[in-house]
Structure 1
Amino acid sequence: MVRTHALSLLGEPALPPGFPHWPWVNPDAPKGGEIALTAIGSFDSFNPFVLRGTAAVGIGNLYDRLTRTSADEAATDYGHLAETIELSADRLTIAYELREGARWHDGRPITAEDVVWTFETLRQHGRPFYRAYWADVAEVKADGPRRVVYRLRTAQNRELPQIIGQMYVLPKHWWEGRDFARPSLDIPLGSGPYRIERFEPGRTIVYRRVEDYWARDLNTMRGTANWDRIRYEYFRDNTVALEAFKAGQIDFRTENVAKDWATAYDFPAARRGLVRLEEIRHEIPTGMQCFAVNLRRPLFRDARVRRALIEVFDFEWMNANLFYGAYTRTTSYFSNSELASSGLPEGREREILEGFRGRIPEEVFTEEYRLPVTDGSGSNRDALRRALRLLREAGWTVRDRRLVNAEGRPFEFEILLSSPSFERVALPYREWLERLGMSVQVRTVDPAQYQKRIESFDYDMTVEVIPQSLSPGNEQRDFFTCAKVEEPGSRNVAGICDPVIDELVELVIAAPDRAELVARTRALDRVLLWHNFVVPHWHIQSFRVAYWDKFGRPPRNPRYDLGLDSWWVERGREGAVEEGRRAAAEPQRR
């Protein structure tokens, strides 16, 4: 067994044993103050680990994990609850030794039994994601009060030891006598840096910093969790939340709407310098945001139909007219990373794909996958002609300005949204689709209803975000494999089921080294693209943040995260900002 303080998929961890703190934090950051943040929708549960209910945001603040992921390294986890990690030479056994002194908020020690109970409970009663993520774990047991041992089914799943360590650990004794599968507003017992101080169901939740938090001086926590209170205020939609920020009710927000970033922040407090606007660059893989069709619906099972939906999506017009030129078109499921495929397959990637020749589109070997590009004028006739040709090949024709099949059934479907802010994208898209003779409805529902419909696959098309990391692995099963197509709550939103993709996902999970992981992921990416499962959207390589100028922050951000938990309240600024808020509100009162 190799005994270590950290695990990395990219060689040796960058930080040595006993490192003092994360490189990007201020270890002497002052504690205190409050940060008020935004949440959209509502909540009726404090259990985010099950399908039922809508969990409050921020619940992760209550719990600790065996390890913490470095936001400055691509794939490295350092011991947190676990003081040491032991990995056997054959990579079939991993053991975590818990820190002496780790305890729950009620003072009871965190034990190996808690870890075992959490793992088994999440796998049995938790979201389907956990069963896919940990499918290669054969057994877990407590080998003493502070030692947990996992036995794995295969040594090929290289990331599994790390993702096991990323599990939130829950208190077995608190959950005894409670139904884990039921949503509940009982304030849960945790061990993390915050506890729930107060809440109004569906409206507000406030987390209070735990003064005697057992890990407050650990190197994985020093310089973070600096707020005394974290308050989340819930709003009906993003438009109302933005107005609340401008009125000073909210301290900090990230802006995801390009139009609002360009036009909505010219208000008195911003002009007076009381509100700061910044674009903070990052190196995070941006994954795939898209319109995803539901392949469980017969309407979308023909790849030619799906390509027609792609052809008429005029990104260039949208970027110029809706997004102020802020975005880059997404052309990969692994965008903004070395894992994205491009050009024609070469070298090892081509070797992998040759093994599937005859079972994947032949164009994979002969053509670079390309999305249509327009001049942005809104006159997209060439794309309409290409789309109509594809639809005719798939058996659809236009009769009396309606697209119908051989039986005369119209081509009609619904685009399901959870936020009104996305209607400005969906409505032009609907117009372009209707030029083909399709009948398209755009429907926006509240977040709770949206979540229920997504989990039960009750939609035709919706907006989906498939996140990716620099180390793809077990989560790909939940995104893309046949086993997850009919499992309620899975993240296979598109309903993708293809034996080749299943095999490629397993190859990615079993990649023995970085070079092979890159080649196998690019092969998976290329096959996914050529099936035209989704209508790709766009991405941006920076965080757009707006905040009232009462915060201090470290000199730099980590490469793969915003690092907001390392910011703090500057007492001297807090008073000036409060005065500015009152002055800004004064004209309204008069």
Structure 2
Amino acid sequence: MTTPRALTLLAFYLVVFLVLAKSGYSRAEESGIIFSHAISLHGKPALPPDYKHFKHVKPDAPKGGTIRIAAMGTFDTFNVYGSQGKAAYGLYLTNSSLLTRNWDEPLTKYGVMVEKIEQPADNSWVAFHINPKAVFSDGKPVTAKDIVFSFNILQSEGSLFWQQFYQDVEAVKATSEHRVLFTFKHNRNRELPLLIGQLPVLPEHWWKDRGFNADLLEPPVVSGAYKIKRFAAGRFIEYERIKNYWAENHPANVGRNNFDIVRYDYYRDSNVILEALNSGQLDWHIEGYPRYWLEGYSKSALKTGKLIKGTWKNHNPQTSSLVLNSRRAPFNDIRVREAVAVLLDVDWVVANLLSNMMVRAKSFFDGSELAATGLPEGKELELLSKWKGDLPQRIFTDIWPPAGSMARREKLKYAISLFKEAGFQLEQGVMKTPSGKPFSFEILLGDPSNERLLQTQVRRFAEAGITMTIKTAESARYLKSIRALDFDAILHSFRHTPSPGIEQRSFWSSANLNEEGTLNLAGVNIPAIDEITEAIPASKSWAELVTKIKAMDRILLWHFQAIPMIYNPSWQIAYSNRVSPPDNLPRYSVERTTWFATEPTKLDDSVKQ
């Protein structure tokens, strides 16, 4: 017999269940298991389980048309996840990941490929329930075995990035046809369920008999909304929207994936890209060069509305930095690296070559609250004090950059004094290394447009008796040199997310320091950085994360292995009147998948080089 007390308790638990379900969670109290439609690193997902679409899309955006985009260089593979070759642009369109990111939130991911996310309260594992409607582009169903295969192939044959990304995963197992379980080595990495959500879904039946790192120019079977339609190696590649794509009407895809055709045309010169935009051969381009933005676009095309320029604030902390390969002498000497940082006349470049449209970067996280500013204090000072005896003491007493208030001539004298401290000698206008050889180094570039930014620095270093040369390599050769760590210095953009996490370990940790394909390009080998990058994913609050990132930022700055130069606080996008953005772009991306066509576009296979 059911007692009134039992009925009251039953009603109470039913109300609790409904409240949790409405907020996106349901909890089995006895087992402590949480089921959700989305996961967020800090706080709860902004959208409830019954959301209709992402807020930044135009839900009734028309489907159809073509968008033509410029790409630099060339390509020789359709495998963007391997360790070899130069992958074609746009491949992100072809493969779904387990979870789909909402770019209007700092770090929240929603299920599309995944119907339900299952987690224990102690963060010791995560399970994903694959949507039973999910199919690959050849019509075969997506199963948990495909997820296991995807994980294992990336761990065994993928690029070093993927191997480091998932090093905290103990095992993966398909527990049923549509449930895959990931168990963790420890529960300290709170970000790990989200990281696993970035796993691309690859079809085992297509990949298992093919060499994962072989040259691949065979259009693969894919899991995303687009597939490769046609291509000419090194000239263009077209992606076509899959008709009757199984997840086309999922709330996360409403107002997205609007173009029937997404086409990338390859160019070798940014001047030719500008000509193509002005003549109507391209539809969309992020402009990175203020000179082009201010003076390069056709006045008649802008006046008639055939070409439109739009500016949107960039909320991502991203910097372009000069990376010194500290594995090589003399950049293994901190005094030499600081001297290089002092000699760089970035302020002149920003004012005279970039028209002050970009900003002098003084942090790897400039433009956000993550940037280290002033002197360390509070929790950050407390954290840094743990390694005080092992760190440059100016971290605690000086504000970066060094010699910031000095005049140009004074900076030159200060840099020369640093070289002398390191055993260099200035003889008859030539800076000699401790071994007596003239000091010269090369900056390797992958984009010829950056040559102009650095040519003035050649003269500046010549004033100190140093020969700085600039070499621009074709994109595939550049990538090969970077993977092999075969460079003195490079200009590199560190693209951090609004909520930095385990990828910081790839950028800065000494693990895999000298392994080919490492993302630790500068050769950072600092115990304090190793500890912080390990601790970042375990942050339990946003405030704790900010403290760790600021401390890491400050340590990196004062070791001068990478020198922040500039960051762009806005996205400058030139686009034709044949395409249109939604009313609002998300905070953390220009998300081209939300744009749509306003009129048909005639395709032309002739691409000017």
Q: Could you say which TM-score interval applies, normalised by the shorter chain?
A: over 0.9
Distance, in Å, in 2 between the alignment partners of 1:475 and 1:260 is: 33
AA aligned to 2:188 is Q
Distance in 1 of aligned mates of 2:449 and 2:372: 31
User: Does residue 382 of the first structure (1) align with residue 410 of the second (2)?
Assistant: yes
Q: Deviations over 1:328-368 (max 9, x none)?
A: 11111122222111111111111111111101111222222
CA positional deviation for 1:374: 7.1
Answer yes or no: is the 8 Å Cα contact 1:464–1:493 preserved in 2. Answer: no
2:550 to 516, 519, 522: 522
Task: For 2:311 and 2:590, locate their aligned partners in 1 and report how far apart those are by CA, in whole Å.
Answer: 11
TM-score of the aligned structures, taking structure 1 as reference length = 0.94
Given residue 128 of structure 1, which amino acid in structure 2 is its aligned partner? L
Partner of 1:352: 383
Quote the residue 1:233 is aligned against.
Answer: 265
Match in the other structure for 2:474: 446
Q: CA deviation at 1:267?
A: 3.8
Residue 249 (structure 1) aligns with: 281
Q: Which residue of 1 aligns with 2:165?
A: 133
Aligned pairs for 1:2-81 within 5 A: 2-81=34-113
Determine if the alignment matches structure 1 residue 196 to structure 2 residue 224. Answer: no
Contact 2:278 2:298 in 1 (8 A): no
For the pair 1:306 / 2:337, whether they are aligned, the reply is yes
Give secondary structure in 2 for the equivalent of 1:358: helix
What corresponds to 1:466 in structure 2?
A: 494
Letter matched to residue 489 of structure 2 = M
CA distance in structure 1 between the partners assigned to 2:187 and 2:289 by the alignment: 44
Q: Is the 8 A contact 2:448 2:472 kept in 1?
A: yes
Contact 1:333/1:340 (8 A) holds in 2? yes
Provide the C-alpha distance between the structure 2 equivalents of 1:93 and 1:497, rounded to a whole number of angstroms: 31
Q: Displacement of 1:313 after TM fit? A: 1.2
- Contact 1:314 1:374 (8 Å CA) reproduced: no
- Deviation, structure 1 residue 509: 2.3
The letter for the 2-side match of 1:387 is: A
Q: Which runs of 5+ in 2 are unaligned?
A: 1-32, 605-609
Match of 2:506 in 1: 478
Q: 5 Å matches for 1:226-375?
A: 226-286=258-318, 288-373=319-404
Partner of 1:100: 132
Shift of 1:32: 0.5
Q: Are 1:184 and 2:216 matched, yes or no?
A: yes
| Residues 518-568 of structure 1, C-alpha deviations (whole Å, 9 max, x = no match) | 111111111111111123211121110111112233211111111221111
Post-superposition offset of 1:133: 0.8
Counterpart selection for 2:240 from 202, 208, 220 = 208
For 1:553 and 1:320, locate their aligned partners in 2 and report how far apart those are by CA, in whole Å.
31
TM-score (norm 2): 0.92
Displacement of 1:510:
2.0
> Do the aligned partners of 1:9 and 1:514 also contact (CA within 8 Å) in 2?
no
Distance 1:212 1:405 in 2: 66
- Aligned residue among 516, 536, 543 for 2:571: 543
Do 2:134 and 2:246's aligned partners in 1 also have CA atoms closer than 8 Å? yes
Where does residue 590 of structure 2 map in the other structure? 562
CA RMSD of aligned residues (A): 1.5
- Cα deviation code 1:13-38 (max 9, x no counterpart): 11000210000111111101000001
Aligned residues: 571
Q: Please state if 1:85 is matched with 2:117.
A: yes
Distance in 1 between residues matched to 2:211 and 2:382, nearest whole Å:
50
Is 1:167 aligned to residue 167 of structure 2?
no
Q: Is the 8 A contact 1:94 1:151 kept in 2?
A: yes
Q: Which moved more, 1:36-45 or 1:492-501?
A: 492-501
1:410 and 2:438 aligned: yes
What is the Cα deviation at residue 405 of structure 1?
2.7
The yes-or-no answer on 1:401 pairing with 2:429 is yes
Secondary structure in 2 matching 1:341:
coil
Distance 2:285 2:183 in 1: 43
Give the equivalent residue in structure 2 for 1:112. 144
Report the Cα offset of residue 270 of structure 1: 2.1
Q: Say whether the 8 Å CA contact 2:106–2:499 is kept in structure 1.
A: yes
> Within 2, Cα distance between the matches of 1:103 and 1:496?
43
The answer (yes or no) to whether the contact 1:316–1:373 under 8 Å persists in 2 is no
**Contact 1:9-1:158 within 8 A present in 2 as well:** yes
Check the 8 A contact 2:101/2:107 in 1, yes or no.
yes
The 2-side partners of 1:333 and 1:419 are apart by: 21
CA distance in 1, matches of 2:292, 2:511: 40
2:580 aligned partner, one-letter code: G
CA distance in 1, matches of 2:452, 2:150: 43
SS in 1 for 2:389: coil
- CA distance in structure 2 between the partners assigned to 1:563 and 1:292 by the alignment: 29
CA positional deviation for 1:115:
0.4
Q: How does 1:147-158 map to 2 (within 5 A)?
A: 147-158=179-190
Is contact 1:316–1:374 with CA below 8 Å preserved after alignment? no
Partner secondary structure for residue 383 of structure 1: helix
Contact 2:76 2:234 in 1 (8 A): yes
Report deviation, 1:373.
4.5
Do the aligned partners of 2:35 and 2:116 also contact (CA within 8 Å) in 1? yes
Between the aligned partners of 2:65 and 2:269, the Cα distance in structure 1 is: 27
After TM superposition, give the deviation of residue 144 of structure 1 in Å.
0.2
**Hey, what does 1:584 align to over in structure 2?**
none
Where 2:551 maps in the other structure, the secondary structure is helix
SS at match of 1:148: strand
* Residue pair 1:133, 1:475 contacting (<8 A) in 2 also: yes
**2:4 alignment partner in structure 1:** none
CA contact (8 A) 2:317 2:364 kept: no
The 2-side partners of 1:357 and 1:281 are apart by 38
* Counterpart secondary structure, 1:161: helix
Give the aligned partner of residue 17 of structure 2.
none
1:521 partner letter: I
Q: Name the CA distance, whole Å, in 2 between partners of 1:414 and 1:112.
A: 49
How far 1:371 sits from its partner (Å)?
A: 4.9
